[in-house]
Structure 1
Amino acid sequence: MPSTSESNIATADALTLLLHNQHALGAAIEEITHWISGEGADIVADNVVAALGTLDTNANAITDAIMRLRQA
């Protein structure tokens, strides 16, 4: 059975990969939002920007969890 420290490392590693995916998705969505906004669909662009805010908030929480796991 793996130790708690090993489990924390594995969990932190998995969360780190998910966080990288979240950042990549956020960047892609932001690029699409710029394009949509340029096409005159400002309401859609505003909704996407709000969703990106949620991604940022969650990314901060994930980062905090990763740091706590790595320090344990």
Structure 2
Amino acid sequence: MTTSNEVMADALELLLLNQHAVASGLEEVALWIKSRGAVDTHQNVVSALERLDMNAESITAAIERLRQDTL
């Protein structure tokens, strides 16, 4: 039987995977932007990517906690 913690952890993991995919795409776009000379815009995207990384760490910790609680 699946507990609510398992369901929540699974949902968070899927959202985290989506977040990683979006970040990868943004990184490619940021490099393309930088190569065309828009350094300020590139830096803005890099800042957003850094925030995504920070949030990903917190989401990962929450997933791990939820999974531990189901053991």
Q: Which runs of 5+ in 1 are unaligned?
A: none
Normalising to structure 1: TM-score of the pair? 0.93
Equivalents in 2 of 1:56, 1:12: separation in Å?
18
Percent of pairs with identical residues: 52
Q: Which runs of 5+ in 2 are unaligned?
A: none
Q: Which residue of 2 aligns with 1:65?
A: 62
Q: Which residue of 1 aligns with 2:5?
A: 8
Equivalents in 1 of 2:63, 2:22: separation in Å?
19
Equivalents in 2 of 1:61, 1:27: separation in Å?
18
SS in 2 for 1:40: coil
Q: Which of 2, 16, 21 is equivalent to 1:19?
A: 16
What is the Cα-based RMSD across aligned positions, in Å? 1.2
